[in-house]
Amino acid sequence: MHELTEIVILLAVAVFGAALARKIGILSPIVLMIIGLGLSFVPGFPEFHLEPEFVLIGVLPPLLYVAALQTSVPAFRFNLRPILLLGIGLVVFTALGVGFVVHAILPQAPFAVCVALGAVVAPPDAVSATAIARRIGLPRRIVTILEGESLINDATALVLLRVATAAAVGGAVGFGEVAEQVVISAGGGIAIGVGGAIIFGFLHKRIKDPLLDNALSLLTPFALVIPSEEIGASAVVAVVVAGLLLGHRMPTLMSAGSRLQMDAFWRLVRFLLEGLVFLLVGLQLRAVVDDITTPWGTVIGATFAVIGTLIVTRYIWVIPGGFLPRLSARVRRRETTFSWRHPVIIGWAGMRGVVTLAAALALPSVGTGEGEALYPRDTFIFIAFTVIVFTLLVFGITLPMFSRAVSLTPDDPTKDLLAEASVQQAAARAAKERLEARLEGAPESVVKRLRQQVVDRTNTAWERLGGDGRETPSAAYGRLRQEMIDAEREVFRTARDEGRIPEEVLNRAYRDLDLEESLLLRREED
């Protein structure tokens, strides 16, 4: 009962923090982490110890899975070069850079352990950067690159952490061992991900019940983790590969009801998991500070050195990585929207998150055999924690201002609207052709209504291109239809209260009206 009470308290605080974040216009991970930092020093507030397995196995797989489901595979493929440069090359480069710096400051710590710390702090968070990028309207290509980086870099960092840890505890790690570890982790993860996508795609194709579809979707990332852990493969790679493949095929695998329900379901799961995790990150501060035994001067110096190294190595890697490939004429023809502002912004979007802290907590306690530690593990955990706090607060808060300072031009919405209208017109033609081929025996009134509906959808798409400030026919329709829906709801509710209809009839009517209203709201958002 005590554990249940603590979980309820965490959920309540997470929901309150998310609501506060929306009210003041700051990203919720930042607000929740600050709340957690404050609560960690409140006397009597329950202590929560974040276990690395909870994050790496219980939280990270579903978050990465839903992110992969929503990632555009064609856009991912088009930006594969910068994504791989950031998700693999930058992680290794950063880990080595941090390893050299920390080893210079703490020479008693083995270089392998210092590289392990570098692997811990190297991967940017999978949530924060893209959330901010979407909110402030960064170009779609930058958002895609940041999303792709966050899907890959965790796997790279965890593989590197495993190799460095093996070297730190006395294992012989040469080129052959490293290559074997990479093949097993990455290759095994890809194989399990592809196999999982085939199996779960087969099941989704045959399931018609939206509840079963959603239950299967929730089980998928955890079902991929189990075989990955058994053979030593990367569960992160398996989950990401399966998510990308299933997300790309989702329109043909699931019914409309399943897709609508799954979207709402995963939004709730993501909201709760992200809220809990970032709140827990903040709540670790008290325990992290209490465990410090190294002199604070050394701790602070090493922490700032690591933060500086993270910033410098990211720009050293990102700026040449953005410009050098453009020496190729083929790359210039393919990437016509490139600007010098793109790598500058990508370099500043380096927020770290909960994976960094979970990986830090998973660092081994390495001793000399005489009871003495080879390195100050408490200091390494504090460094990782401070990196999270600093990057989330500084980069997360200043990224919108930084974007405005470099005058980064957002995507032209007119191009999207024009493309949508053109495709909608083609879709309307296809719909009319299908209607004319199948209308035999249908009442003329029904056929006329369906034809008009196709025309209305096409007109709505073209109306968005007007933008002259006047209310469009579609907007007027939405406003007036909303008033009518409200009136219909009131009549049904009154009839239920007076006993003229049962509850089941009210629920059925409300469901139909709710679906129609949600469509109206979606049109307003678009």
pLDDT at 215 exceeding the cut of 70: yes
**What backbone torsions phi and psi does residue 209 show, to the nearest 5 degrees?**
-85, 120
Q: Which residue has the higher pLDDT, 479 or 310?
A: 310
- Summarize the confidence of residues 254-262 as an average pLDDT: 84
In this predicted structure, what is the pLDDT of residue 169? Answer: 67
Domain parsing of the chain, residue ranges? 2-366+374-411, 412-470, 476-526
In this predicted structure, what is the pLDDT of residue 309? Answer: 95
Question: Mind listing the pLDDT tens digit for each residue in 268-326?
Answer: 888 888 888 888 888 888 888 877 888 888 889 999 999 999 999 999 999 888 887 77
What is the CATH code for 2-366+374-411? Answer: 1.20.1530.20
Q: Which of 153-167, 239-253, 483-497 is predicted least confidently? A: 153-167
In this predicted structure, what is the pLDDT of residue 166? Answer: 77
3-state secondary structure 194-205: HHHHHHHHHHHH
Using the 8-state DSSP alphabet, how is residue 418 labeled? H
Spatial distance between the Cα atoms of 448 and 224, rounded to a whole number of angstroms: 50
Average pLDDT over the chain reads: 84
Spatial distance between the Cα atoms of 49 and 279, rounded to a whole number of angstroms: 12
Banded model confidence at residue 371, pLDDT cuts 50, 70, 90 = very low
> Distances in Å between the alpha carbon of 27 and those of 30, 87, 285, 441, 518?
6, 24, 20, 56, 25
Question: Mind listing the pLDDT tens digit for each residue in 68-101?
Answer: 898 888 888 888 888 999 999 999 999 999 999 9
Spatial distance between the Cα atoms of 173 and 97, rounded to a whole number of angstroms: 19
In this predicted structure, what is the pLDDT of residue 128? Answer: 67
In this predicted structure, what is the pLDDT of residue 273? Answer: 86
Spatial distance between the Cα atoms of 181 and 175, rounded to a whole number of angstroms: 10
Residue of 469, 468, 466, 439 whose CA lies nearest to 451: 439
In this predicted structure, what is the pLDDT of residue 173? Answer: 56
Instruction: Spell out the long-range contacts of 77-84 with Cβ–Cβ below 8 A and sequence spacing 24 or more.
Output: 78/144, 79/141, 79/144, 79/145, 79/148, 80/148, 81/325, 82/145, 82/148, 82/321, 82/322, 83/145, 83/148, 83/149, 83/152, 84/152
Question: Mind listing the pLDDT tens digit for each residue in 387-427?
Answer: 998 998 888 888 888 888 887 777 777 787 788 788 888 88
106: CB partners within 8 A, 6+ apart: 114, 298, 302, 375, 376, 379
Global pTM value: 0.84
3-state secondary structure 37-103: HHHCCCCCCCCCCCCHHHHHHHHHHHHHHHHHHCCCHHHHHHCHHHHHHHHHHHHHHHHHHHHHHHH
Spatial distance between the Cα atoms of 412 and 464, rounded to a whole number of angstroms: 13
* DSSP letters spanning 324-382: GGGGSHHHHHH-TT--THHHHHHHH-----HHHHHHHHT----B-SSS-BSS-HHHHHH
In this predicted structure, what is the pLDDT of residue 2? Answer: 64
Neighbours of 100 (CB within 10 A): 14
Question: Mind listing the pLDDT tens digit for each residue in 118-128?
Answer: 999 999 876 66
Banded model confidence at residue 523, pLDDT cuts 50, 70, 90 = low
User: What is the helix (H) or strand (E) element at residue 248, kind and residue range?
Assistant: helix 235-253
